[in-house]
Structure 1
Amino acid sequence: MRAIVMTETGGPEVLVAREVEPPRPGAGQILVRTEAIPVLYPETKVRAGAFPFPAPLPAVFGFQAAGTVTELGDGVDPALRGARVVASTTGYGAYAELVVAEADSVTVIPDGLATEAAAAILMPGSVTLALLRTAAPAAGETVLVEAAATGIGSLLTQRCTALGARVIATAGGPAKARLAREHGADAVIDHTAPDWSERLAELLAGSTVDVVFDSIGGDSVQPLLDLVTPLRGRIISYGWLSGAPAQLGAAELILRGLTLTGCAGTAWLAEVAGQRAAALAAAADGTLVGTVDAVLPLAEAAQAHRKLEERVAMGTVLLRP
């Protein structure tokens, strides 16, 4: 079968299309013939060596794939045969025509939701629902969504607007700012501008932000602290687009009566996994509306990674076997 093999850690060029032996499902596993493979931002960090790869190299790359279950291992519910699913792997093996996954890791795609749409929405949708449960934004509150043109950022903007919150979004450049407005943002600030926090203060005109969804990390939150509502302001830190988590000390939060929730680690990943079925259901009924930037041939996996790292993608990038 055709697959994308990671030969070593490094740039996108280490992702190479090769013919490999097709996998076979073991006990408790299923085999999926893939139709759409989402390219996820965290995968670019794994490929680059920022996080350890969970298998000896070279190995087939990829975290998730959507398609049809064609074979069952021992002990698997027969009802899964022929089902359309999004499969989540243990960190490798998904960039391929055939993918083996644990049966309890798959999410069945609801009727009425296209396979490509399911592949595109599962990760950003499940993270978004987990973030909303954590932050609990309410009608009338002011919410700041950083990097609102990303998959998660756009969904947060949509849902917070629908909940009746005032959404101030940040985005890098005019095209992404337009996308954030299309998703319902009341105002958009270019976070690549050095004085963007001053622009936020002008927009607030003496009011404050109740919830900050921080996907940038690094020093991005530091200038915002005095603009967050004292005693009930919530900073939800879930991304490191800057390359590092939010750089804050406990005293800086305590003296302002603020909370920062770090969305990472085993418990957080379990929370996100628990939202997968709900994310697909929400996509099926139109509550969550994802955006697909491009659908590329499987062999162009390296190009897909470049699009994400150069931040030119305006939505999810999919690979098609």
Structure 2
Amino acid sequence: MHAIRLHAFGPAENLSPEEVADPAPGPGQVRIAVRAAGVHLLDTALREGVQGPPAPAPTPLPTIPGREVAGVVESLGADTPGSWLGRRVVAHLGFAPGGYAELAVTDAGRLHEIPPGLDFAEAVAMIGTGRTALGILQFAELGPDAVVLVPAAAGGIGTLLVQYARATGATVVGLAGGPRKTALVAANGAGIAVDYDDPSWPAEVRARLGGRAVTLVLDGVGGEVAREAVALLGPGGLHLVFGWSAEGVRDGQGHFVEGVSRSVLGPVMLERAGGLRALEERALAEAAAGRLTPAVQRFPLTEAAAAHRALESRGTVGKVVLEP
């Protein structure tokens, strides 16, 4: 099969398209003919050799990166229910690698059947990005009185946060870098879409809110943007911090304010949600019902390095997906 392998930690150019042996499913496992593989910012950190939470241990090399796949079950291991064969499925592989390939193996217990109406790339977006967005939103009080600011509103998670908040009647302020992304944020439902590359963006937000204060900041960015966003919060406002991004969140140095900021990823999110699988099921159901529509940017599998570079430079919109 064709796959993307990593032989040495380092830059995106270390991702190498290769021909490798087909993986064999073990007991209780399936082999999936991959039609879409998700790319996450965490993948870029693992590619560089960055270790520590949330990664449990160093990644043995060589490896095939990728932890989110969707496709068709084409082979079963021993003791795997035969009903899975031929079904359209999506799965998050956890920290087991292997997604950037034409074939991937995983435990049958990780599978979800893809609902009708969702394509493979959309299903991949919801199994990872979608479950995270819904996990974050458990901690948000939304409704017509809320003023929600989303700093990375054109990203995979940000797109869904904007849609969800808008559907509750909240006033949504979406930030993005550059006019193209800002236009997409507005089209996605943000009542106020602002370019955070413009240093005067906080003043523009204040002016367009007409005296209303921000009540909630949904922050997966960190850094200076987060500091300026938190400064827009009114009394009793909440700053929810999540993600594995640059400029603060990735290194644990986001702009935290005692009594205002709260980190919502990890055990606290899962305990409230009833576990990852419950979040995954809900995310797929929300997309199937049309209540959430993931934005997807697609790259051919052979261009995995280009996908990583684009993601790291914030040159992407929505969820990044590789298609064999």
For normalisation by structure 1, the TM-score amounts to 0.89
Match of 2:183 in 1: 178
Q: State how far apart, in whole Å, the 2-side matches of 1:226 and 1:290 are.
A: 30
| Contact map agreement 2:230 2:239 (CA 8 A) in 1 | no
Deviation for aligned residue 1:279: 1.4
Written as runs of structure 1 = structure 2, the 5 A alignment for 1:257-276 is: 258=260, 260-268=261-269, 271-276=275-280
Residue in structure 2 matching 1:197, options 180, 185, 202: 202
Deviation for aligned residue 1:272: 4.7
| Contact map agreement 1:84 1:108 (CA 8 A) in 2 | yes
1:314 correspondence with 2:290: no
Deviation for aligned residue 1:235: 1.1
Q: Kindly tell me: are residues 225 and 305 of structure 1, through their superposed partners in 2, closer, same or farther at Cα, counting changes over 3 Å?
A: closer
Q: State how far apart, in whole Å, the 1-side matches of 2:214 and 2:277 are.
A: 29
Match of 2:74 in 1: 70
Residue in structure 2 matching 1:56, options 45, 48, 60: 60
Written as runs of structure 1 = structure 2, the 5 A alignment for 1:155-234 is: 155-231=160-236, 233-234=237-238
Q: State how far apart, in whole Å, the 2-side matches of 1:78 and 1:307 are.
A: 40
| Contact map agreement 2:220 2:243 (CA 8 A) in 1 | yes
Deviation for aligned residue 1:320: 1.9
Q: CA-atom RMSD, angstroms?
A: 2.1
Given residue 301 of structure 1, which amino acid in structure 2 is its aligned partner?
Answer: A
Deviation for aligned residue 1:140: 2.3
Deviation for aligned residue 1:190: 1.7
Residue in structure 1 matching 2:117, options 109, 112, 116: 112
Deviation for aligned residue 1:117: 2.4
| Contact map agreement 1:217 1:240 (CA 8 A) in 2 | no
1:45 correspondence with 2:54: no
Deviation for aligned residue 1:171: 0.7
Residue in structure 1 matching 2:301, options 290, 298, 303: 298
Match of 1:130 in 2: 135
Q: Kindly tell me: are residues 172 and 20 of structure 1, through their superposed partners in 2, closer, same or farther at Cα, counting changes over 3 Å?
A: same
Report % sequence identity.
Answer: 36
Q: Kindly tell me: are residues 27 and 268 of structure 1, through their superposed partners in 2, closer, same or farther at Cα, counting changes over 3 Å?
A: farther
1:286 correspondence with 2:290: yes
Q: State how far apart, in whole Å, the 1-side matches of 2:127 and 2:167 are.
A: 20
Q: State how far apart, in whole Å, the 1-side matches of 2:122 and 2:229 are.
A: 35
Give unmatched runs, 5+ long, in structure 1. Answer: none
Out of 39-48 and 261-270, give the one that drifted further. 261-270
The 3-state SS of whatever aligns with 1:207 is coil
Moved over 6 A (4+): none
Count of equivalent residues: 313
Given residue 297 of structure 1, which amino acid in structure 2 is its aligned partner?
Answer: P
The 3-state SS of whatever aligns with 1:289 is coil
| Contact map agreement 1:208 1:227 (CA 8 A) in 2 | yes
Q: Kindly tell me: are residues 95 and 225 of structure 1, through their superposed partners in 2, closer, same or farther at Cα, counting changes over 3 Å?
A: closer
For normalisation by structure 2, the TM-score amounts to 0.89
| Contact map agreement 1:189 1:200 (CA 8 A) in 2 | yes
Given residue 34 of structure 2, which amino acid in structure 1 is its aligned partner?
Answer: T
Q: Kindly tell me: are residues 292 and 9 of structure 1, through their superposed partners in 2, closer, same or farther at Cα, counting changes over 3 Å?
A: same
Q: State how far apart, in whole Å, the 1-side matches of 2:258 and 2:267 are.
A: 24
Q: Kindly tell me: are residues 267 and 283 of structure 1, through their superposed partners in 2, closer, same or farther at Cα, counting changes over 3 Å?
A: same
Q: State how far apart, in whole Å, the 2-side matches of 1:273 and 1:48 are.
A: 29
Written as runs of structure 1 = structure 2, the 5 A alignment for 1:13-24 is: 13-24=13-24
Deviation for aligned residue 1:306: 1.4
| Residues 158-177 of structure 1: per-residue CA shift (max 9 Å, x gap) | 11111100001111110010
Given residue 221 of structure 1, which amino acid in structure 2 is its aligned partner?
Answer: A
Residue in structure 2 matching 1:87, options 65, 85, 91: 91
Q: Kindly tell me: are residues 98 and 225 of structure 1, through their superposed partners in 2, closer, same or farther at Cα, counting changes over 3 Å?
A: closer
Out of 54-63 and 270-279, give the one that drifted further. 270-279
| Contact map agreement 1:34 1:67 (CA 8 A) in 2 | yes
